Structure 1
Amino acid sequence: MLTLTTQDIKMGQTLATKEAAIMALAQWLEQEGHVGAGYAAGMLAREAQTATYLGQGIAIPHGTQDSRHLVKKTGIKALHLPEGIDWGDGEKAYLVLGIAAGSDEHLELLRQLTRALQRDDLAGQVRSATHSEDILALLQPSAADNTPMLSWQSDMLQLQQPADTMDELLAQAASALELQHERHALQQSLLHLGQGWWLCQVPAAGPAKAAILTTPALIHQGHKVCGLLALKTHGGSHKQLLAQLADWLVAGQAASLASLSSAHELAQALNNGPVAEGEHRLVVTIHNEQGLHARPGALLVQAAKQFEATIQVRNLDGDNQPVNAKSLMKLISLGVRPGHRLQFVASGPDAEAALSELETAVNSGLGEGVTSPHSAQQVPCTGAPADPGAPWQGVAASPGIAIGPLYVEMPVNFDYADVACDAAAEQQRLTHALQQADQSLALAAQQTGAQARDILSMHRELLSDPGLQEGTRQRIETGASAPAAWWAEIDSAAAVQAASSNPMLAERAADIRDIGRRVMAILCNTALPEPPSTPYIWVAEDIGPSDVVNMNTERVLGLVTAGGGASSHSAILARSLGIPALVAMGKGVMTLDSGTPAILNGDSGTLLVDPDKHLLAEAEQTQQRERELAEQAWQQREQPAVTTDGHRIEIAANLGNTADTAAAVAAGAEGVGLLRTEFVFMEQGREPSLQQQVAQYQQAFSALAGRPLVARTLDVGGDKPLPYWPLPKEDNPFLGVRGIRLCMQRPELLETQLRALLTAAGSEPLRIMFPMVADIAEWRFGKALFDNLQAEIGAPNVQLGMMVEVPSAALNAARFAKEADFFSIGTNDLTQYTLAADRGNGALASLSDGLHPAVLRLMAMTVEAAHAEGKWVGMCGELGADPQALPILLGLGLDEISVSPKRLPRVKARVREFSLSQCKQLAARALTADSAGAVRALTGATP
């Protein structure tokens, strides 16, 4: 049995919020070996579901069922907070107990806590306690006596009593207990237990007596009143009755007791407790947009039928009557609507496994879209303007202006039977569809660029994913048709991905749904929407990567999506193809009419619908001017980037694959400023050999023909795991084990890569840089490895540097500059770490701006420190291609900027438009500005 000791209590703590208290308790439990990393998220999720305030100044935060697997050993820790913490609904907590329990070992302790609530002024006594022994004494039950325990009977219960005030309800309680003359004493003892339940009690001569009165709708002292437990105490015979109600309070289900429709049912529920012997319960909320109708109901029934357990389900927001969860007709009869809560009760040998599967099935949407908090976060409400003539606002994903009619692609409705009688035929049908889809993706990959090939290769891997196929096979064997089974499995996998705490990873759900639709179109013999034969701006809920790869780039003028994010694969491909794109516009954009003229501005993130002639002409002039400038820039792409007053800056290319090196050189690149070498490691299922790496790097050196190559060493881990090197899940992968940190765990990987780079370079100019360096020890680890290999191999034209993408690296740049040959500023990560704004989160797009003065000051510090030691500084983040940022970057003194190959000619041309002296003045003013918007205003116009 779980017990609380003095060692488990920290007295006199001061914390500002309940979230801070929960995090402190989770960290303490983790340090003591009770839970694994991530349990705090489960505790916070539980708090979001149901407030864990128990009453009388005591709160008991604990994890959800989903986080139970993180519990290593049962434990409890307590924080004593004399100043109190607001726990919601006007309640203050002075003692917060964090619980980690893998089973029911903690229930007896929680019963003990609930019984302690009977003490007069328990909250005040807890608050004024000075020693942990005082807390233990307050929580101890009184000595047991031999008085027989009472049990609940139907005649002790009075349901749905009409009462307009608590005084009226207390009068009814006094009558039920035959204590009309003790009404004032009952009133004085009134105590809110929590979850709408109240307690009043009076000691009296004669046998103990108890009554429960429920009431439909009553508020007292700002709290809901759903039930009143009234006790006439004598000895300890009433304690069992209180403990039984306490069980429901502890389980967070006491509010549901008051909704029971009969006294017999309520008495039975109280006597049996929230979880009977051998019985397991689960409460889930239905988020399906149409509730639980036939199709999702059938999938739920199929999930239940996989198990031997007896499973009953009731609609807690309906008539609350239990029905067989394995009967579709019974399930539909519950009338479950969106937001309704279902309670499953299972008993049998596989009851726990059954409830786990049902929870997963319901939360994944049962084959349909769900209206969950996660989906609300994925689609920021940015779109519809208040003024009909104003532009729609989204997140800029790919720059440029597109002018043309809208083509609004409505989602395809696939028509198919839910069930089938021939499982073997359905499995064969699915196999053929998967093969056909794979062949289509393979053909598309042959006809596109390297970046798109990588993404389509990943899609082919998803098609052959054994987990996806096995899950579909199991559904088919339980009676589902091939399309019903496939879409249910796709929807489940996509929902799990979309729920990731990392927005960038969550956006990958679009990839899963993309391949799902491709196969569904084949299975259902349904043609996917046919776009117009004339140029258009494509509007869709989401545009899958294979859609982007297969689209006719001569006709698609721009892309607009209701959801997604700037780092989704479709956005990445749009940038690589040079197609203007907006994402995260909100669902309202799907209400626009196809054929309506519009102006898409991929720089400012706006969509102007049905513009007047003046605005249309102005946009056409801007677009034509951009085309002319782009053509002129292309013609002059081989010329160096030199300012009007003679200052030269090197403009290089950012590459994700050595195969693109020749194209970058043809576009005017003066070298490669960033080669993301992880492509070598991620494009195959096992670690590449030394020879394979050498061959890849030699391809780049050959195409560069003496131009310098800056190679970033392996930057995987966290959000970019290697398929053949599984790593523990991290709650925040961007702050986790990645880059140089990962290589320090596997130095042989870095050693092989450095050896390959030095061998491939020979006498060619090679610059090597380490990513994610935050501490001098990390830098020296990599440098020592490099020095040993260079002494052995003898490559003569090599420099060793580091990425500056962590604020600590910029702040300590003067120290790093004494040892590093160069710096390369990664503005994407430096911005998100400095501003604590995830760069993949569309909702934070306006905040996550590399022109924020705080980010610019870190850049200036880096440049100043490097130049003081005679070292050069480059920039490889996307900010280098931002036309408003470019003059400020020049003014900060950067020596090199690298951008995507398609932006090279225009960036070089822009440099030629500025004088360095003017840029320095602009940069000095930017460093003292108040915000990123103010900085952008300095450049002439905000985006």
Structure 2
Amino acid sequence: MKFLDRFRRATPATNPAPCPAPSPEVLLAPLDGTLQALDTVPDPVFAGRMLGDGLAIDPATNVLCAPFAGTVVALPKTRHAITLRAANGAELLMHIGIETVGLGGDGFVAHVKEGQSVAAGDRLISFDAARIAPQVPSLVIPLIVTNGDDFVLRSRAADGSVKRGARCCEIVPAAIAGSSSMPEAPPEAEGEVFHCTSEIRDPFGIHARPAGVIATRAKAAASRVTLSLGGRRADARSSVAIMLMGAQAGDVVHVEAIGPTAQKDAQDIAELIAAPGSGAAAREPRPASAPAPALAAKPLVAVALDAPGIRRVFSGVSAAPGLAVGVSRRLVHEQLDIPENGAGIEQEMAALTDAIARTRSAIESAIAHFSEPGPVEHGSHGNQQTEILTAHLSFLDDPYLRSTSDEMITAGRSAAFAWKNAVETQITALRQLGNEVLAERAADLLDIERRVLLVLCGRNETALELPDNAILFADDLLPSQFADLDLKRVAGICLAASGPTSHVAILSASYGIAAIVAAGPDTLRVPDGQDIIIDADKGQISVNPAVSDVAATRQVVETRRARVDANRQAAGEICRMPDGTRIEVVANLGSVSEVAGALANGAEGCGLLRSEFLYLHRTSAPGEDEQFAEYQAIATALAGRPLVIRTLDAGADKDVPYAHLPTEENPALGLRGVRLSLWQPDLLRTQVRAILRVKPYGQCKILLPMIATLADVRTVKAVIAAESEALGRDVPIETGIMVEVPSVALIAAQFAEEVDFFSVGTNDLTQYTLAMDRCNARLAQQLDPFHPAVLRLIGLAADGARNRGRWVGVCGNIASSPLAAPLLIGLGVTELSATANAIADIKALVRTLDMPRCRAVAEAALALDSADDVRHLVATHWPTIGSGS
């Protein structure tokens, strides 16, 4: 999170937001075309004025010009839209065509840059209409006043043909017009103003859960809080409006708070925006070649069933890994009879209020249930359920959903009809944003829609009776429906629609239930009681397979289960290869709360403590005593086992606002890791002192991130020596470096003279070796640490360390892959620092490995051409890794 603006009073001299001049701005036609009402735009986001009021032009020419003199405040890289700010402060979004963001800039040429001043009539963007039109629903251009709480439109010209430069309307400050088109702010929202920005860290952007948390906090604020991103603005009290911003990972959201507690409200919400993702955020991105979720699959009840016994094989997208054998069970959604006309405004309003209240009570009871200690199935799984249900609560309080429903009830519609239409308008808008994850989050709105409708219709969702080892087949599965399942009877899930980042996918993975999504509407034809094999690892569903296949799969499932149980039972034993070679298997940790789980899985210590957990999402650096207390607590919990503490690894995608990092064009190559610590030496000295105080001496080791030069190592070692002397510590502390920059691997022998150990960070080493941004989802499939070039650098680092008597560990993601263990050991690695859940399986595998064979396969891997070839080589020599056989 970057607090770019310090606290200030709302005066013309200090308030960064423009103060509207008390005069209207004439909006001129930006190009030739047909002027039309915003309602006619074939997109509910624009037509429904979710982004603000305005008008639209169906273009007859292909150059968009400035409709007034102003400043370019937003111009996305895709160049399909632009936002101008007028002299009176009005901000106008001009969006060329519908769904044109998906073109990635193809067919658009920008003639201006962000921050540039333009005169009325200046060229802004040229577009190739003939090229674009066949690819999108419409070329109509909405013109939207995005800060509609401050401005209104009046004196609008009549619909029809218009020439560039012709008068279209006036944009008038609301103070003059005497009206406002936005919901009223809280009455206390006057006075102090605070502005800040926050970068989105959740890899899936702002979706349902974070939006719900943000909205809940904003509703409790005494200030009015507004979020903006480019030309889009959202009342922070509305989780739907927040999601409709379409905010992506890496986007910087502007937070504005006006009110008596503006600073705290803005900072709190900015921290929520910047919070890392959970559940879905930890999942791997879906392969680019995978089919898109079938968002509009036919309702299950409308699909004709296959005859029993028909053998079929379906393919879908893996949402939760696993292999299962069972029998099919269809989930049929009960169709509700929704009357269109109401029985009276007061009666329908009261009915909707009562239904929302009863739904809220039911959700709160469910949250309390999952928050209770006791049943094993609660635990972290219950936390997932609680997060999702809490987001659902925020939808019930959403001001836009309620106000839209109330308007329809006032017009004579029934409460059920009004609620259904209000929610489905937002669902349609989410699905048309071009953001797959937000489209998948539409299921959460569907869930709330159905809960309220069931109450309004006087119906209860009938509990689904399940056979043992049921394989559920459905179009989609709402989170509330998942929560109502007897999960002890569920072996697998197959959904025609949904997606791999949906909440059902997250919950399935959390409970260890094999799940496949986006399998297509034909899966809805499978009747109940059919034999099913679901192989979620391969994304395949076999209906009525051969009896021999069923028997063989059951054997594999039992073997896997037995192997996992056996591995966990033996996880506490020291890890050695058959020839006695010691391979330490330790855990990557982020806080003291993770220690117990790691030790239960057999961790022999901590190979990487990410100390940044103490530094992120706060406005000032942690002090020495605070850090010492945390480090000592972790050391104590490890009961004398090794603890490797990495010094602050911030910069790039992990920002610490109090470090006042400069803006960098290439932050991944700039002030990050140890470079930041050396740039802010007080941060480094404070952290070093805290680590040096941890007892018993010898348990802790210091690990330095982002080392690229010997000079950096020597500088930090001098700091450690000076602080040791100042503390009176006469026991030396082992100091190592991360091998994540190729320069270290290439001259590893020289670095080994200066340090006690190496720890290879394969995530960054792969990024810098292959010149691929590890935060870029489009490159995720190519950013593979099994690439021979990356393996060769690991081998060079191990050779350099071994020649100087140093040890080498690996703490990157590859260390958690059993498939990588023979390679890494063959290259000379003697410590694997993995995620807790992977430790037991890795230790079990290492105990079976033959060192000469590991070395031979590792050497052969270096001569291959690709990561895929390397994986195939390892799988050929150790075919049982990951197979369960």
- Counterpart position of 2:608: 674
1:521 and 2:415 aligned: no
Distance 1:433 1:931, change over 3 A: same
Structure 1 residue matching 2:829: 3-state secondary structure: coil
Letter of the structure 1 residue corresponding to residue 640 of structure 2 = G
How many Å apart are 1:918 and its aligned residue? 0.6
- Counterpart position of 1:41: 77
- Counterpart position of 2:856: 921
Letter of the structure 2 residue corresponding to residue 273 of structure 1 = R
Provide, for residues 474-514 of structure 1, a one-character-per-residue CA deviation record: whole Å limited to 9, x for no partner: 5567567699679968986997799698xxxx748767854
1:864 and 2:804 aligned: no
Contact 2:356 2:396 (8 Å CA) reproduced: no
How many Å apart are 1:641 and its aligned residue? 2.2
Structure 2 residue matching 1:929: 3-state secondary structure: coil
Q: 1:793 and 1:602 mapped to 2: Cα distance?
A: 56
Structure 2 residue matching 1:41: 3-state secondary structure: coil
Contact 1:880 1:886 (8 Å CA) reproduced: yes
- Counterpart position of 1:444: 370
Contact 2:430 2:438 (8 Å CA) reproduced: no
Q: Which of these residues, 320, 323, 327, is aligned with residue 401 of structure 1?
A: 323
Q: 1:576 and 1:271 mapped to 2: Cα distance?
A: 57
Q: 1:717 and 1:489 mapped to 2: Cα distance?
A: 40
Q: 2:553 and 2:676 mapped to 1: Cα distance?
A: 48
- Counterpart position of 1:273: 164
- Counterpart position of 1:381: 291
Q: 1:772 and 1:578 mapped to 2: Cα distance?
A: 36
Aligned-residue identity in percent: 31
Q: 2:521 and 2:688 mapped to 1: Cα distance?
A: 48
Letter of the structure 2 residue corresponding to residue 921 of structure 1 = A
1:883 and 2:793 aligned: no
Q: Which of these residues, 715, 731, 734, is aligned with residue 799 of structure 1?
A: 734
How many Å apart are 1:897 and its aligned residue? 1.0
Structure 2 residue matching 1:557: 3-state secondary structure: strand
- Counterpart position of 1:99: 112
- Counterpart position of 2:788: 853
Q: Which has the higher helix share?
A: 1
How many Å apart are 1:671 and its aligned residue? 1.1
Structure 1 residue matching 2:819: 3-state secondary structure: coil
1:614 and 2:536 aligned: no
Q: Which of these residues, 880, 890, 898, is aligned with residue 833 of structure 2?
A: 898
Contact 1:600 1:608 (8 Å CA) reproduced: yes
1:638 and 2:572 aligned: yes
How many Å apart are 1:925 and its aligned residue? 0.8
Distance 1:678 1:845, change over 3 A: same
Contact 1:414 1:521 (8 Å CA) reproduced: no
Distance 1:747 1:549, change over 3 A: farther
Q: 2:167 and 2:474 mapped to 1: Cα distance?
A: 50
How many Å apart are 1:915 and its aligned residue? 0.9
Matched length: 656
Provide, for residues 296-350 of structure 1, a one-character-per-residue CA deviation record: whole Å limited to 9, x for no partner: xxxxxxxx97699xxxxxxxxxxxxxxxxxxxxxxxxxxxxxxxxxxxxxxxxxx
Distance 1:307 1:793, change over 3 A: closer
How many Å apart are 1:927 and its aligned residue? 1.1
In angstroms, what is the RMSD of aligned CA positions? 6.3
* TM-score scaled by length of structure 2: 0.57
Q: 1:432 and 1:605 mapped to 2: Cα distance?
A: 39
Matches within 5 A, 1:169-318: 195=129, 272-273=163-164, 276-278=167-169
Q: 2:424 and 2:670 mapped to 1: Cα distance?
A: 29
Q: 1:714 and 1:656 mapped to 2: Cα distance?
A: 12
Unaligned residue ranges in structure 1 (runs of 5+): 1-33, 47-62, 75-86, 115-192, 197-221, 226-248, 254-266, 281-303, 309-352
Q: 1:498 and 1:816 mapped to 2: Cα distance?
A: 53
Q: 2:723 and 2:339 mapped to 1: Cα distance?
A: 64
Provide, for residues 663-687 of structure 1, a one-character-per-residue CA deviation record: whole Å limited to 9, x for no partner: 4323322112334455556799998
Select between 814-823 and 610-619 the one with higher mean Cα deviation.
814-823
Q: Which of these residues, 573, 583, 586, is aligned with residue 652 of structure 1?
A: 586
Contact 2:694 2:700 (8 Å CA) reproduced: no
Letter of the structure 1 residue corresponding to residue 291 of structure 2 = C
Where relative contact order (Cα < 8 A, 6+ residues apart) is larger, the structure is 2
1:823 and 2:780 aligned: no
Contact 2:423 2:446 (8 Å CA) reproduced: no
1:932 and 2:823 aligned: no
Contact 2:786 2:871 (8 Å CA) reproduced: yes
Contact 1:434 1:519 (8 Å CA) reproduced: no
Unaligned residue ranges in structure 2 (runs of 5+): 1-70, 93-104, 144-157, 172-179, 185-228, 247-284, 295-309, 410-414
Structure 2 residue matching 1:863: 3-state secondary structure: helix
- Counterpart position of 1:912: 847
Q: Which of these residues, 696, 705, 709, is aligned with residue 639 of structure 2?
A: 705
- Counterpart position of 1:15: none
Q: 1:102 and 1:809 mapped to 2: Cα distance?
A: 41
Distance 1:619 1:435, change over 3 A: same
How many Å apart are 1:621 and its aligned residue? 2.5
Q: Which of these residues, 628, 639, 643, is aligned with residue 562 of structure 2?
A: 628
Q: 2:428 and 2:672 mapped to 1: Cα distance?
A: 25
Q: Which of these residues, 684, 690, 699, is aligned with residue 765 of structure 1?
A: 699
* TM-score scaled by length of structure 1: 0.54
How many Å apart are 1:67 and its aligned residue? 11
Q: 2:557 and 2:472 mapped to 1: Cα distance?
A: 18
Q: 1:455 and 1:483 mapped to 2: Cα distance?
A: 31
Matches within 5 A, 1:298-377: none
How many Å apart are 1:649 and its aligned residue? 0.5
Q: 2:756 and 2:115 mapped to 1: Cα distance?
A: 53
Letter of the structure 2 residue corresponding to residue 700 of structure 1 = I
Q: 2:668 and 2:337 mapped to 1: Cα distance?
A: 41
How many Å apart are 1:891 and its aligned residue? 0.8
- Counterpart position of 1:55: none
Distance 1:659 1:569, change over 3 A: farther
Q: 2:506 and 2:659 mapped to 1: Cα distance?
A: 26
Distance 1:754 1:455, change over 3 A: farther
Letter of the structure 2 residue corresponding to residue 64 of structure 1 = I
Q: 1:752 and 1:493 mapped to 2: Cα distance?
A: 50
Q: 2:698 and 2:432 mapped to 1: Cα distance?
A: 45
How many Å apart are 1:432 and its aligned residue? 6.3
Structure 1 residue matching 2:111: 3-state secondary structure: strand
Q: 1:491 and 1:723 mapped to 2: Cα distance?
A: 39
Q: 2:768 and 2:425 mapped to 1: Cα distance?
A: 33
Q: 2:842 and 2:791 mapped to 1: Cα distance?
A: 20
Q: 2:773 and 2:452 mapped to 1: Cα distance?
A: 38
Distance 1:624 1:252, change over 3 A: closer
Contact 2:370 2:383 (8 Å CA) reproduced: no
Structure 2 residue matching 1:930: 3-state secondary structure: coil
How many Å apart are 1:913 and its aligned residue? 1.3
Distance 1:608 1:801, change over 3 A: farther
Q: 1:733 and 1:500 mapped to 2: Cα distance?
A: 28
Contact 1:73 1:101 (8 Å CA) reproduced: no
Based on CA coordinates, which of the two structures has the bigger radius of gyration? 1
Contact 2:405 2:422 (8 Å CA) reproduced: no
Q: 1:713 and 1:494 mapped to 2: Cα distance?
A: 47
Matches within 5 A, 1:51-200: 63-65=81-83, 98-100=111-113, 105=118, 108-110=121-123, 195=129
